[in-house]
Amino acid sequence: MERIVDFIGGESGPWAVRKLTPIIGESLPKVDFISIIPSSSDNPKEGLWRIRGVRSNLRYTEKSEESTLLSVQADLGRPEARLAALIPIRKSETWWKLAQDERREIFEADSGHIKRGLKYLPAIARRLFHCRDFEEQFDFMTWFEYSSKDSDLFEELVAELRETQEWKYVERELDIRLIKI
């Protein structure tokens, strides 16, 4: 996968949308399919909407946490992991005005973002894309892949994160569930 990609919501693509739910704030137009393609600076001809994101360096994860994650996490693209979720979020200006140590404190010491995620590895594979510095309507998108036997586990993970201190800074969140066709 390229570093900068466009998530395109439209009428075709390898992932069929099962459900598109606005969790906080405004929704996006309903679409039937999502495709993930190398980003292009051209205006997209296809699709009802496009969100650009980039895989970037770690922003909060510390070395010891990274080592643990790398030892247990699964890659995207496992054949049995036919279910996916795309969860774009935007955080408030208050969040972005916090200094690095304040954001890290909320992210991990208060909310256990990494620690909570670890419990669901390797069942739930995920990848984070940053959007904020492209002036997109969201700050991040996380893409998750899992098999149908791990559906309940995935529900548990998202429910848990939404209860954290960190989520008080989320001012827009969409939850798109997909299946590989």
CA distance 12 to 125: 24
Instruction: Choose the binding region for a copy of itself from 50-58, 71-79, 114-122, 156-164 (rule: CB under 8 A).
Output: 50-58
Q: Which is nearer to a copy of itself, 132 or 162 (CB)?
A: 132
Q: Please, what is the minimum distance in Å from the beta carbon of residue 143 to a copy of itself? A: 17
Count the neighbouring beta carbons within 10 Å of the beta carbon of residue 70.
8
Q: Tokens representing 23?
A: 């969790």
Q: Is 110 in the site for a copy of itself (CB under 8 A)?
A: no
Strand partners, 24: 173
CA distance 15 to 32: 9
Q: Please, what is the minimum distance in Å from the beta carbon of residue 107 to a copy of itself? A: 10
Give the CA count within 13 Å in the CB-facing half-sphere of 43: 1
Q: Is 71 in the site for a copy of itself (CB under 8 A)?
A: no
Q: Is 152 in the site for a copy of itself (CB under 8 A)?
A: no
Least Cα distance to 153 among 126, 176, 119, 177 occurs for 119
Strand partners, 47: none
Show the site string, 124-143: x = touches a copy of itself by CB under 8 A, - = not.
------x-xxxx--------
Q: Is 114 in the site for a copy of itself (CB under 8 A)?
A: no
Chain contacts with a copy of itself (rule: CB under 8 A):
3-4, 41, 54, 56-63, 65-66, 96-102, 104, 130, 132-135
